[in-house]
Amino acid sequence: MIQLFELLGAEDRRYSQFSWRARMALRHKGLKFEITPLLLTDKESIAFANSTSVPVLVDGEAVHTDSWDIAVYLETAYPDAPSLFGGEIGLGLTRVVNSWCDRAVNVAFGPLIVRDVLDAAHPDDREYFRETMEKMFGRTLEEVQEGREARVKNLYRTLDPIRTSFRKGQAYVCGEAPGYADYVVFSQFQWARIVSPFKLLDADDPVFAWRERMLDLFDGFARQTVAYDIAA
């Protein structure tokens, strides 16, 4: 059985957005898997994989430690299951979406919810989380998140490329059906709804409807996890 290591937060919140990319990819491929939740500070449990971060995926002899590498591995190892990328061109384009997400979308989300992540983190991880994040931002988490109501428009603008495509009638980032690029962008929303009650989207935003479609996939797989009610 495939094993996936991910983060355990307070009240069983599974708040690692990168692990959600792997979770959705596994469901897309129709593969059965077991999840091992661990603390952010528990580096021992993933030392076997030479990793200090999750997700970590173990499939027999194969061990992968980065969400992008995991997706590429699943596509290569399970070619007869539904494709995540839709061929070589799709693979290249999805890599661009993955980088856009890591460099722009994630950066737009972070300052809106990072203080809330502290509360969603496991109590034993909070000191480490605050210390590492405040070092990265150069400010307290409270300062970073302050005034977010006025800054949510930055996220709105960042998401314009997908919003415009949805307005043109495209149901998913990948077209008529979801693929890995959808799971990458969705992972950011899933992270946000797991850690924060803050409203990110208006109900009439086409991105809101897309998020609903994503939450409905695989019998409401992503909807079922412990999260805040983000309905408008």
Q: Interface with ligand GSH by CB under 6 A: which residues?
A: 7, 16-18, 40, 52-55, 66-68, 132
Minimum distance of ligand GSH from residue 53's CB (angstroms): 3
In our burial notation (b when 16+ CB lie closer than 10 A, e otherwise), range 2-39 reads: bebbbbbbbeebbbbbbbbbbbbbbbbbeeebebebbb
List, in sequence order, every residue forming a beta bridge with 56; answer none if it has no partner.
Answer: 5
Minimum distance of ligand GSH from residue 42's CB (angstroms): 10
- The three-state secondary structure class of 23 is helix
Nearer residue to ligand GSH within complex by CB, 28 or 163: 28
Nearer residue to ligand GSH within complex by CB, 158 or 187: 187
Question: Under 8 Å CB-to-CB from 2, ≥6 apart: which residues?
Answer: 26, 31, 32, 33, 34, 57, 58, 59
Instruction: Name the residue with the smallest CB distance to ligand GSH.
Output: 53
Nearer residue to ligand GSH within complex by CB, 7 or 114: 7
Minimum distance of ligand GSH from residue 179's CB (angstroms): 17
List, in sequence order, every residue forming a beta bridge with 6; answer none if it has no partner.
Answer: 37
Minimum distance of ligand GSH from residue 41's CB (angstroms): 8
